[in-house]
Amino acid sequence: MSTTVAGGTATELVPGVKIPLIGLGTWPMMGEDAAAAVAQAITTGYRHIDTAENYANEAAVGEGIRRSGIDRGELFLTSKFNARWHSRPGVREAFVEATRRLGTEYLDLFLVHWPNPAQGRFVEACEGLQQLMDAGCIRAWGVSNFKPAHLQRVQAAGLRIPLNQIQVDPEHGQPAQLRWHAGQGILTAAYSPLGRNGSFLGNPAISGPARELGKTPAQIVLRWHVQHGRVAIPKSAHQERQRENLDVFSFTLTQPQLAAIDALETGAPPRLDPDTYFH
């Protein structure tokens, strides 16, 4: 599994399965807004759509996919399930419900949304995901918001974790977590890759390369993610911003430029603590 990217638009997740490095985040869009944004994004060129049970928009995402007219085999579709399903049979039920809402027969990637360590059943959930993959119901599985301690418990059960989706942006870089992922061959997917308020987009480390390269600050940050080998899942319903978010493979940041953005790291933890927050 490659975790470094020079200029490609996808990377290998598990043997034979490539994940597009830029996906469309769909939270908190719902209903017609979500359906329209997904259909528009696919028409614009997106081939990776990210949703979740807790977003309450899987049916709308499915409608957007159908509305786009795309062949299902051309799309990489990710969803996530909640803690109520944390058991081997529960994961299968979660899969049945998710695919029913989405209107698809399979998922490309299915994730445990939060570990909920107090419940103590996330390892069983991962075992259930591996069973789904072995049965051909999903093409790959992974986790979301897992700390290294949680990941180690899954690995101790004999499972290899392909991907962990976590909050990463220039101010919340989670360098220790990312180093751990790299050492274990776990691909990182970044949600909220442009931050929540975007205040850092005006920093010279980002605005400078944007001016030099004729790109937007958001494009610079997304290029920073993918050039570090991460999947990035920005949310946008605006067609021009969707188009810009995809257009990050025609230029390259220099090592000094990457290092300057790396240096924006504040040491702040993720917005939500996976040891205590879950759904």
- Enzyme catalytic residues: 55
CA pair distance 62, 46, nearest whole angstrom: 15
Instruction: List the structure tokens of 165.
Output: 């989706």
Q: In angstroms, how far apart are the furthest CA atoms of the chain? A: 54
Distance in Å from the first CA to the final CA of the chain: 30
CB-side neighbour CA atoms (13 Å) of 187: 27
Helix (H, G, I), strand (E, B) or coil at 29: coil
Helix (H, G, I), strand (E, B) or coil at 14: strand
Kindly state the DSSP code that residue 219 receives in the 8-state scheme.
Answer: H
CA pair distance 37, 49, nearest whole angstrom: 11
CA pair distance 12, 274, nearest whole angstrom: 27
